[in-house]
Every structure is written in C-alpha cells, then in structure tokens.
Chain A
Amino acid sequence: MSAESAPALLSVRDLRTWFFTDQGVAKAVDGVSFDVRAGETLGIVGESGCGKTVTSLSVLGLLPQPPARVMEGSSVRLRGEELIGSGERRMRALRGNEISMIFQEPMSSLNPVYKIGGQIAESLRLHRGMDRKAARAEAVRLLAEVGLSEPERRVDEYPHQLSGGMRQRVMIAMALSCEPSLLIADEPTTALDVTVQAQILELLAELRGKFGMAVLLITHDLGVVAEVCDRVVVMYAGQIVETGTVYDIFGEPAHPYTRGLLDSLPSVEDPGKRLDSIPGTVPNPIDWPTGCRFRARCPLATEGCELPQDLVELGEEGRTARCWRAPSLVATGAAT
C-alpha cells in the first residue's frame, strides 16, 4: 500500500474535548492527534472510557454542547479545511455527505417510526437534491448493494421488522448513500453475534474497495482490529498511547498498556494458560493521574514515570508510543 505518501484526508491535531459536569471537568479527550489517509482503514482501539467514541463524535461535531466543549487549539481538518468552528451550516453539509458515520447499536440507530427507505432517501434528497421517486429508486439500489435480499420489499419495511445484521446493513447503505470519502464506524459490530459480525466486516471490506473511501474504525475488540485495519491508534485515558501499523502493534507492542491488553486475551496456542490481567481500573476522567496515566497499573513503572509523557517516535514514520521506556522495550523485543 502506498498509504504513506498520500496526503492526509482527515487530520486531527491536539483535539481536546472536555465535559463540564456538576462533578467537575471530565477531560474525555485530552490532546489527540492522528491522520486518516485517503482509502486506508485506521483503527482506534481502547477500553471503555478511553475517549475513542468522543474523538469520533468530535470530528463530526455531534456532541451536545454543553456539557461537551471542544477546547481552544484543537484542530480537525478535512482535506486541509478546518472544521472546528466552521459553523453548523457547513458541518451539516459535510455530515452524511463527505463524512458519514455508523454506530454501535443497529437496533436503536434507526428511527423506529419511519420506513427504512424513507430514512435512506432523506440523505439523498438533502445532499443530492433528488426528488422523492429518484431517491427511493436509489435507496432500493443501495439496499441491494449492501446485500439485503428483496430490496424492493424491504424498502417499505420498518426497522423493527429487520434483524440486527440487516439493520446494520441499512445503516451502512445510508452512510454510503452519498459516497463519502470517510466513513467513521463506531463499534459497528460490537452488538452483533460473531457470525453476523463476520458478515458485516466482510461487507465493509468489500465496499471500501469498491468506493475507495477511508474508514475510521473505532472498537475495543483487538480481534476485529487485527482483521481489518491498516494502521492502529491505541488510546488510554483520553490520550493516544501508541500508534503504528497493524503488524507493528500486534507483532511488537511498544507501550506496556498495549501489551497488557494483548496478554489479557486467552492464548490461542495455549488455551489453558493463566491470563495476565492488568491490575486496577481505568482512572476517573475528572481526575486523571499526573505523569504517565497508566503508571498506577503498569508492571514496569519506575522512577521517572511520574513525569508527563510525550509520544516518542520509534523508528519508522507513524510509529509512536507514549512511554519514555518504549524505545528500549522495542529494542530488546521484550514480549512478556
């Protein structure tokens, strides 16, 4: 893949999205930077509460403000155009058109009181200016495209008449209706059974090839990341802790957190082997620890970790880790 040389489609710099609540300020996303290049699949992976979903919603400006606020200095550029502060009208023109999104819960992401055809057509009429008839025909075509049988009939059905997998296909059809250049998929398969997950992942891969769009995949499932992503961003406590290609991350994890995650999974080779868990719990976003935020749970923590950590470049371009010991960890190839 020639991903490296292509200019960034989406460029996020120092994104900070904070929530101002009664209890205090939750710094859900606290200085996140990454690029999505045209045509690639970038995975953002992390546990719940790490800020991955807030990141994706911030890109589209979909967070309710207040309590959320995208802090000054944050920057989100689409093909060089700054989106933060570009105004609601401009964002509306982009949403569902240039950038579209699918969500975790296919059960609840479709409006239960409208027919699915109408819901797909809505985007087409808004962004493509199609009339009712043309939009409907296009909706039928899109439903066929995402592999729904009998699209002519399905188009007049309500969401509750479809299974979870079918609904996620409808969501995908809706997201693709205006042929976006970027698709943000927020845990698109988490709520689905494995066999259906396999179907959806296959469909996404197929459509991505066909439409040539970039995909920003947000998930907590390391297996899914390993299956479909080109590059990976690992998040922890509102920050990126590691970036790299999917092979780097899984083959040679540089950050102790990434390693811990991988070690928590039951081993395929030795199913009976005792799991290595990460002790403790994710800290509270209102009160992140100072210094390395993973320090309290890190088996390798020593003196020096109480200092704030920056992302450290590790060799190739785009390979970074937020750990001052990462270079030496990678160098020794210490995979515990």
Chain B
Amino acid sequence: MIDRSLPPLLSVRGLEKHFPLGQGMLGRAVRHVKAVDGVDFAIWRGETLGLVGESGCGKSTTGRAVLRLLEPTAGEVHYDGMDVRALDRESLRAFRRRAQFVFQDPFGSLNPRLSVGAMLEEVLEVHGLGGANRRDRAVELLELVGLRPEHIDRYPHEFSGGQRQRLGVARALSVEPEFLVLDEPVSALDVSVQAQVVNLLEDLQAELGLTYLFIAHDLALVEHVSDRVAVMYLGRIVEIADAANLYREPRHPYTRALLSAVPRPDPVGREQRERIVLQGDVPSAVDPPMGCPFHPRCPHPAKDDVCGSVRPLLEGDPGGHLAACHYQPSGVETST
C-alpha cells in the first residue's frame, strides 16, 4: 500500500512552462502564455494523484512537462531521486521505460498506418524487450488490456474508442513502466465505456503496482479513482488534499464553486440545491491577474484588496490539506 513515510516517487517544485506567443521585430517572443506557473506536488509510490481543473488551466501541460514531453521553463522535477530535467539522451530513454504517458484522444494517439502488432513490436524492438518472441509478448499485452489476440493485425481505425484507449494503455505498458501519466484517458468516451476503461486502469494498478498521475476535468470520476486530488486554476494548484477531504470540505472558493456546478444525476430535490454560479470567464494566461488568480471571479464574501495584490501560498494542515487562499475557512497554521 501507499507508504508516505518513504520519499515520494515523483516530486515537483516550482514547475513552470511558458509558451512564446507571436514574434517580435527580431524574431524574439514578446509575450508568453504562462500555461504552468509555479506548481508543486508529490506522488508516492502506488498512489493515484488526481489533477483536475477546467480547460486551459495547465493540467495537461503539467503532465507533459513532468515527463519532459515538453521542456519545462523552470522548476524541479525529481523522479525516484533523479533530476529529470538534467537527464541526457541515454538516461532519458531509460527514464521513459519507467514512466509512461497515456493520451486523451483515442483517435489521434495511434499511428493510423501501423497495425497493432507492428506498433507494439516496434516499441519492444527499440527497447530490446520481448526477446525473439515479440509477437507473443504483443499478444500478451493485448490480453492484459482486455483485447483479443486476433486483434493484433488490425489497424487503429478498425477499433472503437474504448478499444483504442486500451491500445494506448497497452502501448504504454509495453515498456513495463512503474509510473503512468494518464491525460484525460476517458473523457472522449461514452459513459458506459468510460466505466470499462476506468475499471481496467484500476485493475492494472492493483496487479502491477503502478503509480498514476490522473488528469481529468470530470470531478466525480477523479474522486472515484484518486487517493489525493489537486485542483488547478490558471496554471497553479489552488488546493490539494486527500480525495475524501477535498470533496467533503473544500477550502478554496474555486473548488467549492466547481463542486457545486457539477450536475448530479439525481433530479430529486434539484430545485432546492444550492449552486454557486461563477461570473465571467477564466482570465487569459498571457496576463494573469495580480495576487490571487481567482480573485476577479471569487464569490468569497471576505474578498478584499489583499486578494488582488498578494499571491496566496499553498498552505494548510500539515496532514496534507493545502489550499491557496487568504481566507481559508478553518483557522489553519501557516506553513512556509
């Protein structure tokens, strides 16, 4: 089980990723989209950290930057004691055998020209895995993700969305990793199929002892799969806590609004339900607001000038419920 007394498998500090926007007179970028703007978190071996937020909040970029699919602009990423950002070409390749990525779009994440077998065998070949019987190993992988051996000669377009997502998982698992970044792995799928894939992921985690960073926008789903949950807003984590705590006692006004906005599949008492409807839209990440990024939309009654000028730190109980708000409900100690 999860042992938090050990050092975390992955720890991220001050991670930033800025994308240049347009070009100036001399070809130098004048403005940047601050997609990820100072993110800290840690994941322990065997756990699932859920990362939620609305579109454009930087959760996907965070996932990619952690695995260096995108080069971070700043910050530290340590994986099992290694400095991920300092890896050279060879050690990066070794790192990628240990940490893998599953993509959101089941249509775009598979090379349409390669059959399933060719795709899996290629990975095995590149990493020198599977010995002489790479095809057998490929079949094994298919079975592992609940597909049939005869699927091996088919092409991606011959599969349904759910099956394709299974293929994505199989491909990630082919290098026998211990850590997976799952980027919205089920959001493109129908409800009934979503449940299949979620169950598969949970089974695999149990079976293979995997660690997940689970990125999604569906709050109910994240609650279902995660041990801990981090909520992102405008490139920053605004709240992070054990799943149960976060959903029961959200501390950040954004988290609260988010939770209240989720439609519930239960019409009973819907008229009485209290819902916090936020005003306006998420501000631009090119020019995020001063202070608390959420303050322009914040419905908190105590909102004041401080919110507009001082950036709140992620703080809270030592037990692990942290929020970045100047006005957290319970009197919490300030942790530096």
CA distance A165 to B277 in the complex (A): 13
A173 at the interface (CB under 8 A from B): no
What are the residues of chain B within 8 A of A130 when measuring CB–CB? Answer: none
Contact across chains for B268 and A247 when beta carbons are under 8 A apart? yes
Using a CB-CB cutoff of 8 Å, which residues 216-247 of chain A contact chain B? Answer: 220-227, 229, 246-247
Contact across chains for A247 and B265 when beta carbons are under 8 A apart? no
A48 at the interface (CB under 8 A from B): yes
Contact across chains for A266 and B190 when beta carbons are under 8 A apart? no
B160 at the interface (CB under 8 A from A): yes
* 0 or 1 for each of B210-224: is its CB under 8 Å from A? (1 = yes): 000000010111011
Closest to B263 in A: A223
B247 at the interface (CB under 8 A from A): yes
Contact across chains for A227 and B277 when beta carbons are under 8 A apart? no
* 0 or 1 for each of A241-269: is its CB under 8 Å from B? (1 = yes): 00000110011000000001111111110
Contact across chains for B163 and A165 when beta carbons are under 8 A apart? no
B55 at the interface (CB under 8 A from A): yes
Report the minimum CB–CB distance from A147 to chain B (whole Å): 9
Most B-side CB within 10 Å, residue of A260, A262, A267, A278: A278
Contact across chains for B54 and A275 when beta carbons are under 8 A apart? no
Closest to B243 in A: A271
CA distance A163 to B270 in the complex (A): 28
A310 at the interface (CB under 8 A from B): no
CA distance A197 to B281 in the complex (A): 11
Contact across chains for A198 and B261 when beta carbons are under 8 A apart? yes
Report the minimum CB–CB distance from A194 to chain B (whole Å): 5
Dominant secondary structure of chain A at its interface with chain B? helix
Contact across chains for A251 and B268 when beta carbons are under 8 A apart? yes
Contact across chains for A272 and B224 when beta carbons are under 8 A apart? yes
Interface residues on chain A, number (Cβ under 8 Å): 47
Using a CB-CB cutoff of 8 Å, which residues 278-299 of chain B contact chain A? Answer: 278, 281-282
Contact across chains for A260 and B220 when beta carbons are under 8 A apart? no
Contact across chains for B220 and A266 when beta carbons are under 8 A apart? yes
Contact across chains for B160 and A281 when beta carbons are under 8 A apart? yes
* 0 or 1 for each of B53-93: is its CB under 8 Å from A? (1 = yes): 01100000000000000000000000000000000000000
What are the residues of chain B within 8 A of A314 when measuring CB–CB? Answer: none
Closest to A223 in B: B263
With A47-B191, A271-B243 as known contacts, state yes or no: A194 contacts B261, CB within 8 Å: yes
B328 at the interface (CB under 8 A from A): no
B303 at the interface (CB under 8 A from A): no
Contact across chains for A201 and B263 when beta carbons are under 8 A apart? yes
B202 at the interface (CB under 8 A from A): yes
Closest to A284 in B: B160
Contact across chains for B192 and A277 when beta carbons are under 8 A apart? yes
Closest to A164 in B: B281
B267 at the interface (CB under 8 A from A): yes
Contact across chains for B258 and A194 when beta carbons are under 8 A apart? yes
B199 at the interface (CB under 8 A from A): yes
What are the residues of chain A within 8 A of B160 when measuring CB–CB? Answer: 281-282
What are the residues of chain A within 8 A of B268 when measuring CB–CB? Answer: 247, 250-251
What are the residues of chain B within 8 A of A250 when measuring CB–CB? Answer: 265-268
Closest to A47 in B: B190
**Given pairs A223-B264, A265-B195, A266-B223, 5 additional interface contacts (CB within 8 A):** A166-B281, A194-B261, A197-B261, A277-B195, A278-B192
Q: Which 4 A-B residue pairings sit nearest by Cβ, starting from the closest?
A: A223-B263, A277-B195, A266-B224, A278-B192
Instruction: Enumerate 25 A-B pairs (CB-CB under 8 Å) in ascending A order.
Output: A47-B190, A163-B282, A164-B281, A194-B219, A195-B257, A195-B261, A195-B277, A196-B281, A198-B260, A198-B261, A198-B278, A223-B265, A264-B192, A264-B195, A266-B221, A267-B224, A271-B223, A274-B202, A275-B199, A275-B224, A276-B195, A277-B194, A278-B195, A279-B196, A281-B162
B interface residues, Cβ below 8 angstroms from A: 54-55, 160, 162-163, 190-196, 198-199, 202, 217, 219-221, 223-224, 243-244, 247, 257-258, 260-268, 270, 275, 277-278, 281-282
A interface residues, Cβ below 8 angstroms from B: 47-48, 163-166, 193-199, 201-202, 220-227, 229, 246-247, 250-251, 260-268, 271-272, 274-279, 281-282
